[in-house]
Structure 1
Amino acid sequence: MPKRILQGTVTSDKNDQTVTVSVERRFRHPVLKKTIRSSKKYRAHDAQNKFKTGDTVRIQECAPVSKSKRWEVLTAQ
């Protein structure tokens, strides 16, 4: 099964080797037919601490690194 890859914006880089990435998705409401934006935050592993707040990055699923980290940063856009 392929690993999911998501694109989002780094919202926090205060923790060591960890970034918080906000991923936004858009979908059409089934009844109202209005476009809705919803976002979700993921904690991703950043081994070299090279990504800063405001960067657009791609994250990929990985094996659990800690209690809350299940993603790793691939590249910056």
Structure 2
Amino acid sequence: MPKRILQGTVVSDKNEKTVVVRVERRFAHPVMRKIVRRTKNYKAHDENNTCKVGDEVSIQECAPISKDKRWTVVEAAQA
């Protein structure tokens, strides 16, 4: 089964080798038929501490690295 890849924005890089990535998803509300935005924060492993706040990154599912980290940074585009 392929691993999920999500795209989002780095909102925190204060932790060592970890970034917090905000991922936004859009969907049509089942009753109102309006496009709704929902965001969720994911902690992702950043081995070289290259990502900074505001960067657009792609994160990929992986085996658990710590209590909260289940994602790794795959690709980073500098802002």
TM-score band, normalised by shorter chain: over 0.9
Amino acid at match of 1:36: V
- Which residue of structure 2 aligns with residue 60 of structure 1? 60
What amino acid does structure 2 have at the position aligned with 1:44? A
Q: Please, what TM-score do these two structures have when normalized by structure 2?
A: 0.96
2:43 is aligned with what amino acid? R
What number of residue pairs does the alignment pair up?
77
Which consecutive residues of structure 2, in runs of 5 or more, have no partner in the other structure? none
User: What TM-score, normalized to structure 1?
Assistant: 0.98
Matches within 5 A, 1:1-77: 1-77=1-77
Q: Distance in 2 between matches of 1:2 and 1:37?
A: 25
Q: What is the identity, as a one-letter code, of the residue corresponding to 1:38?
A: R
The answer for unaligned runs of 5 or more in structure 1 is none
Inter-partner Cα distance in structure 2 for 1:74 and 1:55: 13
Identity of aligned residues (%): 65
Runs of 4+ in 1 over 3 A off after TM superposition: none
